[in-house]
Amino acid sequence: MVEEGKPAPDFELASDAGEHVKLSSLRGKPVVLYFYPKDDTPGCTKQACDIRDAWGAFQRAGAVVLGVSPDGEASHAKFKAKYDLPFALLADPGHEVAEAYGVWGEKSFAGRKYMGVERSTFVIGADGTVVKVMRKVDPKKHADDVLAVLGAA
């Protein structure tokens, strides 16, 4: 289980641009690593667009924002282009990174159970340690909640 004050599990995933992003290569900057269930769905779109709309504040905080879902690179590229998202979306189709961060598991919707990603965010300090774990985040307040953590970090 990922804990505050402990090193963030390292990973390398393909981005919407087809590049590989390795978490440990981003040391020196705070990282907002947010996991979301699926591209272009109402809650995930709200969450991503709110980060986009507050992008200047994220930049002033010096933060790198990475969105992670099980969707593939092509889906991410389409989602990013459709909403003009200024940050990288990472493909975790095998959900290895979601599992490493403890956000992959059983969910239920409309009485059906399925395996999926819990909407969660990890704010990682410039030194690679987890500053804040945010579970079951509300997409409507996500950007503001993360910016409050970045301001206090």
49 catalytically annotated: no
Whole-angstrom Cα distance, residue 63 to residue 65?
6
Residues 6+ apart with CB under 8 A from 102: 1, 2
In 24-103, where do the E strands start and end?
31-35, 64-69, 88-91
- In 10 A of CB 112, how many CB atoms? 7
Among 44, 68, 85, 146, the active-site one is 44
In the chain, where do the E strands start and end?
12-15, 20-22, 31-35, 64-69, 88-91, 104-109, 112-117, 120-124, 130-134
Catalytic residue numbers read 44
